[in-house]
Amino acid sequence: MTPLTDQTTLNHPDASILQVTGLTVQYGKVAALDPTDLQVGKGQIVTVIGANGAGKSTLLNALMGALPPKGQSHGSILFQGQAVQGWDIEQRVGLGLTLVPERRELFASMSVHDNLLLGGFRLHRAGVRGWRDTLDDVYALFPRLHERAGQAAGTLSGGERQMLALGRALMARPSLLMLDEPSLGLAPRVVREIFQTISQLRSTGVSILLVEQNARAALHVADYGYVLETGAVVLQGDAASLANHPQVLESYLGLSGARQRT
Ligand SMILES: Nc1ncnc2c1ncn2[C@@H]1O[C@H](COP(=O)(O)OP(=O)(O)O)[C@@H](O)[C@H]1O
Ligand SMILES: [Mg+2]
């Protein structure tokens, strides 16, 4: 499959934070991810769009080392120049990889504040000085979380919960933040708000790998995109080209009707 644009023109390979080559996943005998190549450049937002069941969560979980026991993954994952395939989750987190999973996995009965502090626990344990200062950055990014600092996480709205999940991930000061469908179950207005924040994160220098069914929102914030269908990348290119590709317009942006009318 020929890329619409050569990603090396967007980011020199040396500047890539994540370089995935021939990554596969099988659940028992069932293949969920065909050999997949993917790159994220430093400071880039890269998106993987695809329908329900395409293999998006499978891909992120394989990168995080968080597949269920019957999930088997092979291939090469270079993160910050290190071959991390075979490393456990803790080691990958230690190198700066963080995943906000599809199930946000917040502690419902704990306060917003305590949920955020837990996100920084590893840095605290590692004796990183000033780890708590990140809290100010997170509250500045999400004033709504600051207002609700003492409130139990379980009482937050869907959008606020997503903000908390993002904020907690940022507390670990990741160099690559992987987001599994941050728009899932949220109203359009809230989706816009979350994606604005994702876009703002660019200025912090964190690289982002974003998987989404909401192709429109994802391609709007991303630099580069991949289209995943039944476990295989079928299309890739810079986000603007992808958003104008007939196949993407028709299958993911629901614009086939518009085309027929013209
Ligand atoms: N734990 C699992 N065991 C077996 N099959 C799974 C498991 N998780 C996902 N799958 C299968 O792998 C495929 C991709 O699923 P998934 O990665 O969750 O897709 P997406 O996140 O794009 O919706 C689907 O066919 C799904 O049924
Ligand atoms: Mg999923």
235: which strand partners?
227
Cβ–ligand 1 distance for 57 under 6 Å, the answer yes
**pTM exceeding the 0.85 threshold for the entire prediction:** yes
CATH of 12-96+176-189+208-262, one of 3.40.50.300, 3.30.200.20, 3.10.20.310, 1.10.357.10: 3.40.50.300
Quick one: pLDDT band at residue 4, thresholds 50, 70, 90?
Answer: low
How far is residue 208's CA from residue 42's CA, in Å, rounded to a whole number? 9
Nearest to 1 by CA among 183, 217, 234: 234
Strand ranges across the sheet with 207-212: 97-100, 176-180, 207-212, 45-49, 224-229, 232-238
Nearest ligand, CA 30: 1
Ligand 1 pocket check: which of 29, 34, 58 to mutate, most ligand atoms within 8 Å of Cβ? 58
Q: Are 39 and 231 in contact (CB under 8 A)?
A: no
The residue ranking higher by pLDDT, 130 or 210, is 210
Residues in Cβ contact with 13 at an 8 Å cutoff, skipping those fewer than 6 apart: 19, 39
How far is residue 238's CA from residue 240's CA, in Å, rounded to a whole number? 6
**What's the mean pLDDT when you consider all of the chain?**
91
Q: Where are the domains of the chain?
A: 12-96+176-189+208-262
- The percentage of the chain sitting over the pLDDT mark of 90, rounded to a whole number, equals 83
Cβ–ligand 1 distance for 55 under 6 Å, the answer yes
Compute, in angstroms, the gap from residue 66 CA to the centroid of ligand 1.
13
Looking at residue 14, what is its pLDDT? Answer: 55
Taking only the tens place, the pLDDT of each residue in 144-187 is 999 999 999 999 999 999 999 999 999 999 999 999 999 999 99
